[in-house]
């Protein structure tokens, strides 16, 4: 009887050292995290109040890159898991030696009205300053995919005609849906004197007294800045006699810094202006040049050095244009905290290639100014959906 033995391998791979296994694990984790952040979900922390009360300072959120389709990197030479600089330094974490065109993988939805969207700040080319640290004007120093990340609500999509009257947004001539957490100014009339504790309990931080109304004895009048949701709760109090939405600007008031700067407007009375849409052709009269010159020159895939805007006219590569067809879609974004938000009212439209993803939910929330250490974590905000 012949005994058959399994053939032994003549060459065995040397066993990895502990250091090698440790390095391999780190490399795998970095590659996996980079892939997930690019293709699936990206975590962000909220540093500003432009979306309060929807999203608070100190909220940690997840943003889906899948919804609108992940973008291919425009700047491939970059240290993984960084954005603009190496952690804790001002040293750039990227090189612009290679710049690629941006493509978007298929998503399962388009940007829709009322979506809360993260995007790269397109900036206002007319800004007179460039402060990289603040993010104002600093966008000029970075490629599209590395510009500062902003989060706002999309109030108008490409092709929509948007107008703002008395702080109310109108889309295509109809009042737009108002997020229950959007912030407006109101005049509150009360039969009782209201103190700081009352406003604190009602989650109203911005309020002030009006002079007493001699025509209405025993009536106390306040100006408050709050949300429609909180207003509904205030109306339940028997001593609240009326709450009226009010404006801070007159319709004919020109506010500095409003887009487009050639048209006198303010943040409560703006437009009407149509949001550019891919394939839409406009006639380049002086009015349209004032509205769309920045988009054509800086964001619509033209070489800015070859686009000249002068005396209400646009020429590209020396050829005077009488009409123009847009090469991509654009969006109009606003913060829900309407009076504390630098948004499309100030710097214009958001190009489609600047869109990063859709904000999904808050997974952690840390109060930067808690009343006590026990209140540091806002437990009621954990795993809360963003609407």
pLDDT at 51: 95
* b/e code 306-319 from CB counts within 10 Å (16+ = b): ebeeeeeebeeeee
pLDDT at 126: 59
Among residues 33, 56, 237, 251, the alpha carbon closest in space to that of 163 is found at 251
State the DSSP string of 166-199.
TTEEEETTEEPPPPTT--EEEEEEESS---HHHH
Bridge partners of residue 302, in order along the sequence: none
Among residues 288, 8, 276, the alpha carbon closest in space to that of 161 is found at 276
Bridge partners of residue 85, in order along the sequence: 92
pLDDT at 382: 95
| Average pLDDT per consecutive 10 residues, the chain (387 residues; last block may be shorter) | 48 69 78 81 92 94 95 91 85 90 93 96 65 50 86 97 96 94 94 93 90 74 94 95 93 91 92 97 96 93 92 94 97 95 93 96 93 89 94
pLDDT at 127: 58
Structure tokens at 33: 């995290």
* b/e code 268-290 from CB counts within 10 Å (16+ = b): bbbbebbbbeeebebebeeebbb
Domains of the chain are 19-160+331-387 (2.10.109.10), 184-246 (3.30.70.260)
- Close Cβ partners of 364 (under 8 Å, ≥ 6 residues apart): 59, 60, 377, 382
pLDDT at 191: 92
Catalytic residue IDs: 50, 152
Structure tokens at 219: 């009536």
What is the C-alpha to C-alpha distance for residues 113 and 338, in angstroms, rounded to an integer? 16
pLDDT, tens digit, 9 for 90 and up, residues 176-190 = 999 999 999 999 999
Give the count of alpha carbons within 13 A of 124, CB side only. 19
CB–CB of 51/152 below 8 Å? Answer: yes
What is the C-alpha to C-alpha distance for residues 183 and 185, in angstroms, rounded to an integer? 7
pLDDT, tens digit, 9 for 90 and up, residues 39-94 = 888 999 999 999 999 999 999 999 999 999 999 999 999 998 888 888 888 888 88
């Amino acid at each position: 009887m012949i005994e058959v033995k399994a053939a032994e391998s003549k060459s065995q791979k040397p066993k990895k050292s502990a250091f090698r296994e440790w390095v391999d694990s780190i490399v795998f984790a970095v590659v996996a995290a980079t892939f997930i952040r690019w293709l699936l979900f990206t975590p962000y922390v909220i540093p500003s109040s432009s979306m309060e009360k929807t999203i608070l300072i100190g909220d940690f959120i997840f943003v889906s890159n899948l919804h609108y389709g992940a973008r291919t990197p425009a700047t491939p030479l970059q240290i993984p898991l960084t954005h603009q600089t190496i952690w804790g330094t001002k040293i750039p974490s990227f090189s612009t030696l290679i710049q690629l065109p941006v493509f978007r993988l298929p998503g399962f939805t388009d940007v829709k009205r009322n979506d809360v969207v993260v995007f790269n700040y397109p900036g206002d080319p007319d800004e007179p300053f460039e402060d990289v640290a603040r993010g104002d004007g600093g966008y000029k120093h970075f490629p599209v995919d590395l510009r500062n990340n902003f989060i706002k609500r999309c109030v108008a999509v490409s092709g929509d005609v948007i107008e703002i009257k008395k702080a109310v947004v109108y889309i295509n001539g109809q009042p737009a849906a108002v997020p229950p957490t959007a912030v407006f100014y109101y005049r509150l009339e009360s039969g009782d004197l209201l103190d700081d504790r009352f406003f604190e309990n009602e989650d109203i931080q911005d309020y002030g007294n009006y002079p007493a109304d001699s025509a209405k004895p025993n009536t106390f009048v306040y100006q408050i800045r709050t949300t429609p949701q909180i207003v509904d709760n205030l109306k339940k109090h028997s001593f609240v006699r009326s709450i009226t939405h009010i404006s801070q600007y007159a319709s004919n008031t020109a506010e500095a810094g409003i887009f487009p700067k050639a048209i006198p407007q303010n943040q409560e009375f703006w437009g009407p202006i149509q949001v550019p849409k891919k394939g839409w052709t406009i006639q380049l009269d002086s009015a349209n040049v004032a509205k769309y010159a920045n988009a054509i020159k800086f964001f619509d895939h033209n070489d800015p050095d070859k686009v000249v805007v002068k005396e209400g006219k646009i020429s590209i590569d020396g050829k005077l244009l009488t009409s123009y067809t847009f090469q991509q879609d654009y969006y109009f974004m606003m913060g829900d905290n309407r009076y504390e938000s630098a948004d499309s009212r100030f710097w214009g439209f958001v190009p489609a290639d600047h869109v990063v993803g859709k904000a999904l939910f808050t997974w952690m929330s840390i109060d930067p100014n808690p009343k006590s250490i026990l209140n540091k974590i806002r437990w009621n905000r954990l795993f809360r959906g963003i609407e």
